[in-house]
């Protein structure tokens, strides 16, 4: 099932980002994931047990969304359908949160996060193949220059494999919600690192990313106190 949820995320990303942009999609996804992970932890679906929705955890969730908004504040554009795009991304983020909880339990049962990641990606690949075939047969979609992207565009699968493996190991210990916050921190930290070492078009590190990282660190600290 974990691979199916991952396929839902990728499909939503492919459809939504070209319409509303990365910024709106990111905010919607994080809002959906934080909300969903709070509920998943409250229900005790993950192997870490039941985590009550305390005021600290609720506050941390709001701060996580705020951190993303601040971090990508300079990327927002006025586009049509922005509300529906954000809502679509929110629903997708909410739906995929059970993936981490399920993966954690499967990894414990199988005693290997790497075996779990392999099965996860195999399931996702099967679903995505089916979606692609439906698009080719019924929606008149076409693949354009599949191998024309730079080499680094093809390493996303490897990083995804490592992320799923790490999640399967961490979620049973910390819970889905705290793992979601740590993932947001990792994304913001990577953005800072790339802006420092590999700036694009001369862009410098913006104050918004620094503030965003500080906010998400505060959110993690508050969430841990409320767990």
Could you report the per-residue pLDDT of 146-190, keeping only the tens digit for each?
A: 677 777 777 777 887 788 888 888 888 889 999 999 988 888 887
CB hemisphere CA count around 38 (13 angstroms): 18
Give the pLDDT of residue 189.
82
pTM (2 decimals)? 0.77
pLDDT of residue 68: 83
pLDDT band at 124 (very low <50, low <70, confident <90, very high): confident
For 36-92, the pLDDT digits (tens) are: 999 999 999 888 889 999 999 999 999 998 888 887 776 666 555 677 777 888 888
- Asked whether the predicted pLDDT for residue 123 surpasses 80, the reply is no
Q: Specify whether the CB–CB gap between 176 and 183 falls below 8 A.
A: no
Q: How far apart are CA 66 and CA 44, in angstroms?
A: 26
Per the CB < 8 A criterion, the answer to whether 164 and 120 are in contact is yes
Q: CB neighbours of 210 closer than 8 A, spacing ≥ 6?
A: 192
User: Could you report how far apart the first and last alpha carbons of the chain are, in Å?
Assistant: 27
- Which class for 166: exposed (0-12), middle (13-18), buried (19 or more C-beta within 10 A)? middle
Contact predicate 27/93, CB 8 Å: no
Closest by Cα among 152, 174, 38, 167 to 93: 38
- pLDDT of 39: 94
Give CA–CA dist 207/144, Å, rounded: 38
Which one, of 75, 103, 211, lies nearest residue 161 by Cα? Answer: 103
Question: Residue 218 belongs to what H/E stretch?
Answer: helix 207-225
């Amino acid at each position: 099932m974990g691979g199916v949820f991952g396929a839902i995320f990728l499909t939503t990303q492919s459809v939504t980002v070209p319409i509303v942009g990365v910024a709106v999609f990111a905010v919607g996804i994080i809002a959906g994931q934080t909300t969903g992970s709070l509920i998943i932890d409250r229900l005790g679906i993950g192997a870490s047990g039941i985590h009550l929705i305390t005021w600290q955890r609720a506050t941390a969730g709001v701060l996580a969304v705020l951190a993303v908004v601040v971090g990508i504040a300079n990327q927002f554009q006025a586009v049509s359908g922005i509300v529906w795009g954000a809502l679509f991304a929110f629903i997708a983020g909410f739906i995929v949160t059970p993936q981490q909880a399920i993966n954690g339990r499967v990894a414990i049962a199988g005693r290997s996060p790497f075996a779990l990641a392999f099965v996860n990606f195999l399931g996702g690949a099967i679903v995505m193949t089916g979606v692609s075939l439906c698009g080719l047969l019924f929606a008149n979609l076409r693949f354009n220059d599949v191998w024309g992207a730079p080499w680094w565009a093809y390493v996303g699968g490897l990083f995804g494999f490592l992320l799923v493996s790490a999640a399967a190991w961490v979620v049973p210990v910390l819970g889905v919600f705290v793992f979601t916050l740590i993932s947001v921190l990792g994304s913001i930290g990577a953005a800072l690192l790339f802006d420092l070492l590999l700036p694009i078009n001369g862009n410098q590190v913006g104050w918004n990313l620094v503030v965003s990282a500080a906010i998400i660190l505060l959110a993690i600290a508050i969430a841990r106190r409320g767990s």
